[in-house]
A = this chain, B = another copy of it.
Amino acid sequence: MAPRLTAKGAATRQRIVEGAAEQIRERGATETTLDDIRARTATSKSQLFHYFPGGKEELLLAVARHEAGRVLSDQQPHLGALTSRQAWYDWRDAVVDRYRRQGQQCPLGTLVSQLSPATPGAQAVTRELLGSWQAQITSGIRAMQEKREIPPELDADRAAAALLAGIQGGVSILMSTGSLTHLEVALDLGIERLLVAPAPAPAPAPAPAPPPR
C-alpha cells in the first residue's frame, strides 16, 4: 500500500507541501487549485496524485499538519520555557510578532474550514495543536507557581484555557478585521492577571468573598 519513498521522492513530496502552503498563505485555500500548486512547485498532475492518492483533500491535510507545526515552532523557545517573568513577556512579543507578520492570512483557519467542518483528519490536527499549545502554557503557569510568582491556588488548567481562548479570538479578529489590538489586549490582560501579584509572602490576603459560581 504505502510505497516506500526514495530520497528524491521524499524531496518532491516536501516541495509540494511547502509550495502548496505558500500558495495557500498567499491566496487562501479555496482560491488555490491543483494547477496553481503544480505551477509553483514545477510538478505534474501525476506527481500530485502519486504522492497524495487521496487527491486534494489528502494534500490539504498534509499542508495543515505542516502549518500546525509552524505555529508552535514559531513560538519557541519561549513557549517551551515559561519559567520567568521575562520569558512570559518575550513569548507575548513572539506571538504578536508572528501574527503581525502573517497578516490577514490564516493558513490553518482557511484550511480546516475548507476541509469541511468536521473532517476527522482536520479535527485531529487542530485538536493536537491546541492540546499541545495549552499544555505548554499550563506547565509554564505551574513553573511560576512553584517559584511563587503566581498564586498557588489558581487553577492552572483553566487559566491556560482562558488565555489560549483569548489568543485564538485575537487571531480570528485579526483575520476578519485586520486589527492586531485584540490579540495584544488579550495577551496583555491575560498575562497581567497571572503575574500581577508577585507576593512572596502568603500573608493574610483580605480577599472579599468570591462571587457565586
Residues of A whose CB lies within 8 Å of any CB of B are 28, 30-31, 85, 89, 104-105, 109-110, 112-114, 116-118, 122-123, 126-127, 130, 158-159, 161-162, 164-173, 175-178, 181-183, 185-186, 188-190, 192-193, 195-199, 208, 210-213
Contacts and interface: CB of A to CB of B under 8 A. Distances in A.
B177 A165 contact: no
A198 B208 contact: yes
A159 B28 CA distance: 32
Contact of A130 (B177, B183, B195, B199): B177
A112 B169 contact: no
6 contacts: A30-B30, A158-B185, A158-B189, A165-B165, A167-B169, A198-B211
A109 B114 CA distance: 11
Contacts of A164: 169, 173, 182
